[in-house]
Amino acid sequence: MSDERKAMASMKARDCIGFCVMCWVTLGISCSDSYMASDRCPPCGAHGVCDEALGKCGCEAAYGGSQCDRCATGFIRVDDQCVPGMCGDNGDCNDGNPCNGEETCSVDHICVKGDAVDCGPGGACRTSDGRCDCQAGWSGERCDGCAEGYVMREGRCVIAPCETDTDCDDENPCNGKETCNASGECEQGSAMDCGPNGTCEPGSGRCECDLGYEGEDCSRCADGFADFAGQCLRKNCTTDADCSDQKACNGREVCTSEKVCAPAPAVICGENAVCREPSGSCVCNDGFVWQEQSCKAVSCEMPQAPTLSIIHTGAELTFRLSGQEPIEVGATADPKALEPDTWMDGPKWLLTNDGLQRVFARKKGGGCAADSTFAFTYQVQPKYPPAAGIPGTTAIAKDDPRIVGWATGWVEPVAYGTGVDPAWKTPEKAVGPAQGTSTDIVSLGEGGTITLTFAPPIGNGPGPDFVVFENSFNDTFLELAYVEVSSNGVDFVRFDCAYLAGGSVGGFSGHDSTVMGSLAGSYRQGYGAPFDLDALMMKPEVRSGLIQLTQIRYVRIVDIVGDGSFTDSFGHAIFDPYPTVGSAGFDLDAIGVLHQAP
């Protein structure tokens, strides 16, 4: 056995306790004096039998795991037994949307859908609490009745019928005179129009005219006033005050040397704004704010969905906003487009076509700045990139000339997880160049984390910007981790990821890189998984300036416990070799830098 093989065996031998035959099959390690060849399996419990040929437990149909102590797929634990089904109680079936009804778990442990909330034709269900919001004219817990003052006509709640005009009177003559028609329905009258130089007095329904104007609709100049360029101003004046029409938005009137009033230029507010009396100040329209001497569209919240540079065919993007606002989505094959081919009601978009797809999402209804629109280009393909050395792989070798730097330090304390011996708590081995061996690493333990530092910082250039190296001894024994970055060491943002394999991997089984995207540990030792900072451009932490992609000084690696309790960005359970001991969890070799900040 080579020195490297012996070193690897030393590290992983702890994982072989009690079933040395499995170690021989997987690692080529002979049984030591401490573990007899007859000790071929781990404890198989009450639901498994040792398969001596393979050196592992053969589980009953309902059970799984290396020791047959977990329920197999399609089974759940009830009263300490694994039985067919998908739920143990009603809570397992709750989809979080009360409008769909209350889901229950049947006696056969199958989730049964509840009766959806029916708000009828006059209401809509609130997903926050399952109550009905009624439209105007409708009332009742389920919006199935008419509100006071309304009656049902051909399935609609309409204003209650009338007998006389008085039944329709809203006591506001400025709205016009309401009348009762021959069908017994109220009809709205014509509102009083006082023009730009008067206002309607609600009590009388008459127009109160501004200074200098008169008439039923305030359209004539009063006595002593004359029309000057569309304004009624005093015919004679002594001072400017004599000419004032008490309005600021149409400009400040002046008394000329000829003692006649003259209008002044009106206030110009520009696009998306109006002049407000009596101050004469410009006020932005709804949906716009005053910035840099003009009204600019409000920067709204941007819808969010997973952003992976490479993503699997059939991935469903579900866009979300913190509130309940509707979202519209669209896409195009043009990676540089500023708009989709067409906008559609969201919030979901299904990536069905292979190749480049640029996907857009925005809050429906407009009134938001262009930078509030989500726009990201995905490379859609049936599988994720294959193992190192296979065409289509994205693996980067430790001696790749594109690597221009390495991590220069780490943040104390390292948050080690469970199952890691002191001998492998060596963060200094993750600093500097990758070695591509089994032993020159730091083991994080199950669920552990480590943060490495970079001086100079990592920059954001074309293509991948840094690469993470693990120490897997082959292309399938892949221990995985999330990757997060930060500029200030306090605020971090995580790369989205995907994992498509289902079911547990086991302590000495494996999976390959084609089922995983944007996860550290997807390649064997000596080859690293690349990460492109452009994949984070749409994240709120980046858009707000908390994280500057041109100045990444910290990279955090978070081990994924391989029992399925951790999930990817689509909610899929993630599995990797589990359980392992001694050097459990992600084994970090190094992080290489492909682009450095200037």
Write down the pTM of the prediction: 0.57
Q: What is the pLDDT at residue 12? A: 43
Answer whether residue 138 is part of any domain: no
Count of domains observed in the chain? 5
Cis peptide before 456 (omega within 30 of 0): yes
In the predicted structure, residue 245 carries a pLDDT above the cut 70: yes
**C-alpha dist (Å) from residue 13 to 262, 441, 508, 544:** 99, 16, 12, 48
In the predicted structure, residue 309 carries a pLDDT above the cut 70: yes
Whether residue 445 is found in the same domain as residue 369:
no
Whether residue 513 is found in the same domain as residue 562:
yes
Whether residue 444 is found in the same domain as residue 532:
yes
Whether residue 350 is found in the same domain as residue 458:
no
The kind and range of the H/E element at 138 are strand 138-139
Contacts of residue 91, Cβ cutoff 8 Å, sequence gap at least 6: none
The full DSSP string for 234-284 is: ESS-SSHHHH--S-STT---EE-TTS-EE--PPP---TTEEEETTTTEEEE
Contacts of residue 33, Cβ cutoff 8 Å, sequence gap at least 6: none
CA gap 413, 435 in Å, rounded: 24
> Under DSSP, is residue 454 helix (H, G, I), strand (E, B) or coil?
strand
Whether residue 352 is found in the same domain as residue 494:
no
Give the residue numbers spanning the domain of 239.
206-262
**Amino acid at position 581, single letter:** V
Whether residue 218 is found in the same domain as residue 365:
no
Ranked by mean pLDDT, the top range of 283-292, 368-377, 558-567 is 558-567
Residue 310, number of CB atoms within 10 A of its CB: 17
**C-alpha dist (Å) from residue 473 to 26, 501, 510:** 10, 20, 11
Q: Which pLDDT band holds residue 362 (cuts at 50, 70, 90)? A: very high
Q: What is the mean pLDDT of the chain?
A: 85
Whether residue 411 is found in the same domain as residue 462:
yes
Answer whether residue 66 is part of any domain: yes
Whether residue 354 is found in the same domain as residue 474:
no
In the predicted structure, residue 15 carries a pLDDT above the cut 60: no
Mean pLDDT value of segment 52-81? 81
* Pure H helices in 64-106: none
